[in-house]
Structure 1
């Protein structure tokens, strides 16, 4: 089973998986409940609030991208629920008739005219994780502006809005949380759910980050639904990031010790295929407000032992724990743990069987005949192995990025690996690999999946995979 969405002439990508068998699981729970019947009940439709410069002295909030496009953009400020419900209050846009727009929980505040209701923020009793209190600013000229924890304006003092909570956005910023190891550097974009936006090794940045469906991240799929909860955001693609929909960040941070360097991020995932659920509305992201999807990564793990003569390679290995936290059990589900979209010069694809004692025998370069051509510009290869993974490398094999894992039957999390190419086979515009957990039941609470991302030359990567298997890393 495979789902692929290619928007904007094939440049916005979030690709599901082709699985060889379902391990006997069905897409219904023990009481016959379909996954798709449960998914919509766990989604919330959102309005994205932008701040624009309506005049030189008047900042204005809008929930319409069409209206936002009429004015100079200031930036994204918040996500709020689109519809009313218990525990939410209407948020109004008001106008004084001449020089000032402001947002308020009170219609007609200060004698202003109420122009529109632009959303329904949560109150303190119902606010989900990742939300913060809303507030507005006021400058000396009497101009009001909606602000957030991440988007504030010089010269504006803070005025509270009362009991209103939203997911704060980051304006026009690309806020990167950087973790620097001795050989690898990772930069995660907090405006896109904390996905790995850049991965550097030996002076090269290896990740394609054109839109929020790429990067290194987790993405889910279901046997009986076209839902795709995604760590990074939904399928909106625009060269101006102000108009893209990134998943809110619930938590993020680095922990540095003498023995390792760790980074943790948790997104509140958006639905990738969002218009299928919100009635086709362009400006209405769909969120799983009670879910968290993210990662715990570790660099420079001094406790990792690859054996005598090989521990120099551990600086090129990133332990990658994909973490899914959900409020109720999901059946017939699959998750990429993770997927990575790569720069198009990483185009020579390899599979590696780490159980082979001869690393030359374990490595197999894949030609066009090995891939299934799914359409004129999509090539897919699926690989299953007890322990090992897949790799893309540059033509000269001096830069490579691979993913290593093993089957659950021997203590791992990965039931399969994939290689993808988009565009012509010899000159793809992007390549992708992934590891997948396979059709599974995910329990309420935290679900954790472990794989390893390895950077280096092709020989480094396959040697590290073999040593990891030999030393018991699953």
Structure 2
């Protein structure tokens, strides 16, 4: 969590308006009609290295971007060091209110309702600094962490127009015992002073104390009249190992903040850790309705259909993809969830080796082969009603297949490579 600077900000109780954000030629933005009004998200390529500094809806600005520690952005910390080892998307504390960022933007793309960026995150505390929060002098020598951060932000999800999907991927540069991933955080104008906790599973809304800190229930920050609100929810929170953590709220003299936080252990350099946070926007009632619909949609798995054309087994969520390409339909192999229903879920990816060999992997890098997308999530451990999902390979034809019945492969020259996870 960043400690904000306070000079020069709006007085508490004032809403920021569209006119308070000056567009730059290096901005990238996406916009979508939501209930008859434009919802616009803007990221800065130069000033904030791809971080989002503006979210506007119905004439109201939802994001405070006074310095490089605020914005709608992501960060990480390791081994309990907090800000003392804190790669940050938007830049370093030394960047202050300046027009450039120590973080280095690698790529940025915006089209339709989707925005994607990748950057090399700067350490929040600049090397050589003597930080006030008992870090001592920073021991790292480069202002760049070497930690690569990528995000995909999409307006609208599963037919819910006022829901923003924020998918954050962190690739650390070195091994660590533990990590805290602030998958998403939003700094908001001080007029968003009403802190609420909402559990869409029980439909229970309650006043949330100032904290500060995390708790287990999704948070909503709203204006006192309830007409402007932003809430965050993630199907993977709270994590089983951290049942009382996940959603934070903080109040400062000149800004308020929410965050969506994941934790992991045994961090390996080069591995990628991906988390999805969903941000709902509108009135308090509209935010609650969006979160209700999300919970309903994430509880329903979707089928994957298996096709075969004599040399390639293809799994797809779209029947016509296989049928129109000349493949023969073999049946429904498994079901996947669009989001993690709990912390025991893992992503499953579609990959391709060479020109035709489609296969499944739990690794986003597709084990060095071509990445074709993410199907969804499967269980990482056995559960009642779930079956093991095996991956097999036939070297004579160069074809992978995935099945819950390995005998159908081993009886035809395929060998088992391992269990990918568990499916229903």
Counterpart for residue 31 of structure 2: 180
Counterpart for residue 18 of structure 2: none
| One of 144, 165, 190 as aligned partner of 1:287 | 144
Which segments of 5 or more consecutive residues in structure 1 lack a partner in the other structure?
A: 12-171, 305-310, 373-379, 424-428
Q: CA deviation at 1:9?
A: 6.4
CA contact (8 A) 1:198 1:206 kept: yes
- Displacement over 4 Å in runs of 4+: 6-11, 276-281, 408-411
* Change beyond 3 A, Cα 1:182–1:6: closer
| One of 282, 286, 293 as aligned partner of 1:460 | 286
| One of 146, 167, 180 as aligned partner of 1:334 | 180
> 2:43 is paired with a residue of what secondary structure?
strand
CA contact (8 A) 1:328 1:445 kept: no
Deviation string 1:140-161 (CA, Å, 9 cap, x unpaired) is: xxxxxxxxxxxxxxxxxxxxxx
Q: CA deviation at 1:445?
A: 2.9
CA contact (8 A) 1:236 1:245 kept: no
| One of 210, 218, 242 as aligned partner of 1:371 | 210
Counterpart for residue 297 of structure 2: 471
Q: CA deviation at 1:340?
A: 0.6
Counterpart for residue 16 of structure 1: none
Counterpart for residue 422 of structure 1: 252
CA contact (8 A) 2:116 2:153 kept: yes
CA contact (8 A) 2:172 2:271 kept: yes
Counterpart for residue 350 of structure 1: 196
Deviation string 1:339-371 (CA, Å, 9 cap, x unpaired) is: 110011111011111220xx2xx11122xxx33
Q: Distance in 1 between matches of 2:2 and 2:43?
A: 25
Q: Distance in 1 between matches of 2:225 and 2:233?
A: 22
CA contact (8 A) 2:52 2:71 kept: yes
After TM superposition, list the pairs within 5 Å mapping 1:15-414 onto structure 2: 175-183=26-34, 184-191=39-46, 192-225=48-81, 226-236=84-94, 238-239=96-97, 241-242=98-99, 245-256=101-112, 261-276=113-128, 286-289=143-146, 291-301=147-157, 304=158, 311=159, 314-356=160-202, 359=203, 362-366=204-208, 370-372=209-211, 380-385=212-217, 389-407=218-236
Which segments of 5 or more consecutive residues in structure 2 lack a partner in the other structure?
A: 10-22, 131-135, 299-338, 341-424
Q: CA deviation at 1:237?
A: 5.3
Q: CA deviation at 1:238?
A: 4.6
Counterpart for residue 350 of structure 2: none
TM-score (norm 1): 0.52
Q: CA deviation at 1:407?
A: 3.2
Q: Distance in 1 between matches of 2:8 and 2:87?
A: 20
Q: CA deviation at 1:294?
A: 2.9
